[in-house]
Amino acid sequence: MEIHQLQILRELGALGSVSAVAEALEVSPSAVSQHLASLQRGFQTPLTRKQGRTLVLTEAGAVLAAAGVSVVDAMAAARTAVEEFEQTRVGKVTVSGFHSAGQALFGGLIRDLAAHPPGPELYFSDEDVAQDDFPRLTARYDLVLAHRLEHSPPWPTTGLRVVPLLSEPLDVALAADHPLAERTTLTSVDVAGERWVTSRHGYSPDDVLDAVAAVANRSLEVVHRINDYGAASAVVAAGDVICLLPRFTSPAAHDDRIVLRPLTDVAAARSIDVLARPETLRRRSVRLVVAALRRVVGDLTQGQCHGGSGGRLR
C-alpha cells in the first residue's frame, strides 16, 4: 500500500469516476485503474465495485479512503517538517576533523558563526584516520574534514559529496638557526642528508619521503615517527631533525623557532576537503557551516601569506 494509491482511492470516492480522478491528477484513466488494482491486491475485501458503467467505492473502500486521509495528511506534515528542518539556520551540526585541521579551524569556525547569528549548534570530534577511512566517517558525522595527498586517488563519488577547501603545500620545516634556513627554497638533494621526523607508515607525509629519497637517489635517515604535528614541530624546533609540515594548518606556521621552506623538485601538497552525504548538504544549517569553513580557510591562508608570524615562508 502506497500513499499515492490511497490518494487515488480517496479521489475516487470524492469525484465518483475513474475519468474524473484521471483528469484531476493529470494521469491516464488506465494508470488510475492500474493503481487501484495494485491496491486491491493487498486486501481480500473488495474496495471498489461497478455501478453501471462507473467504478465506485465499496463500504470497505470508503473506510480505507477515510483512513487514508489521515495518512496523506501525516505524510504532508512530515514533508513540511523536513522542508522546515532543511531550511532552518539553527540546529545541531556534527563536524569531525583530523588533528591539524581541528587545531587550525575549529576555533575560527566558532567565532565566524557567532558573528553571523542565528547559527547552528556545533559538535566537534577529532578523527585522524587513514585516507581510505575518511568517507566512512560520514555515517557518524554531518561534515568530515578529510585530507589526502594530491597525487593520490580521488575520493569516491558514490553516495558522497566532496567540497574542496584548500590545496596545502607540505614544506620543509627547519629550526630557525638551521644552516638550510638561510635558503629561500630547497631541493631533495639539499635535505636528503638530514635526520628526519615523519609520520607513521600509511599516514601523510611519510609517503612523500619516498619521493624525496627517489629524487635524491639515496635513502633517508628517519629518527622519529610522530603523527601529531605539534609534537613533531617541538622536535624540529630543538634543531636535531627536519620534517615536512603543512604550510597553513600545522603549529609550525605560528612558531618563531621554525621556518618553512618550499621543496621545489617534489610535488608535495595535500587537499583538505569536506566530505558529506548528499542528503546532509540539503540542510541549510549544514550549508552555513560549510560556507563558514570556507571563510575561515580563506582568512587562514591570507594571514599566512601576508605578514603572519612564526614559521611562515620568510
Tens of pLDDT along 212-237?
999 999 999 999 999 989 999 999 99
**DSSP-assigned letter for residue 203:** S
pLDDT for 76: 77
pLDDT for 33: 93
pLDDT for 307: 41
DSSP string, 218-250: S--EEEEE---HHHHHHHHHTTS-BEEEETTTS
**pLDDT above 50 (res 306):** no
**pLDDT above 60 (res 312):** no
Would you place residue 241 in the very low, low, confident or very high pLDDT band (cuts 50, 70, 90)?
Answer: very high
Tens of pLDDT along 130-173?
889 999 999 999 999 999 998 889 999 889 999 999 999 999 99
Tens of pLDDT along 99-132?
999 999 999 999 999 998 888 999 999 998 988 9
pLDDT for 151: 85
pLDDT for 311: 53
12, β-bridge pairs? none
What mean pLDDT is predicted for residues 57-74? 88
pLDDT for 28: 93
pLDDT for 309: 41
Give me the percent of the chain exceeding a pLDDT of 70: 96
**pLDDT above 90 (res 2):** no
Give me the percent of the chain exceeding a pLDDT of 90: 65
Pinpoint the alpha helices (H) of the chain: 3-15, 18-25, 29-40, 59-87, 99-101, 107-114, 188-191, 206-216, 229-237, 284-305
**DSSP-assigned letter for residue 164:** E
The alpha carbon torsion through 200, 205, 210, 214 (nearest 10 deg) reads: -160
**pLDDT above 70 (res 272):** yes
What mean pLDDT is predicted for residues 176-180? 94
**Domains in the chain, please, with CATH?**
3-87 (1.10.10.10), 92-305 (3.40.190.290)
What mean pLDDT is predicted for residues 42-68? 91
Tens of pLDDT along 276-297?
999 999 999 999 999 999 999 9
Per the CB < 8 A criterion, the answer to whether 92 and 123 are in contact is yes
pLDDT for 304: 64
Q: In 10 A of CB 75, how many CB atoms?
A: 13
At 271, list the grid cell: 587537499
Would you place residue 305 in the very low, low, confident or very high pLDDT band (cuts 50, 70, 90)?
Answer: low
Q: What is the pTM of this model?
A: 0.75
**pLDDT above 50 (res 314):** no
**pLDDT above 80 (res 92):** yes
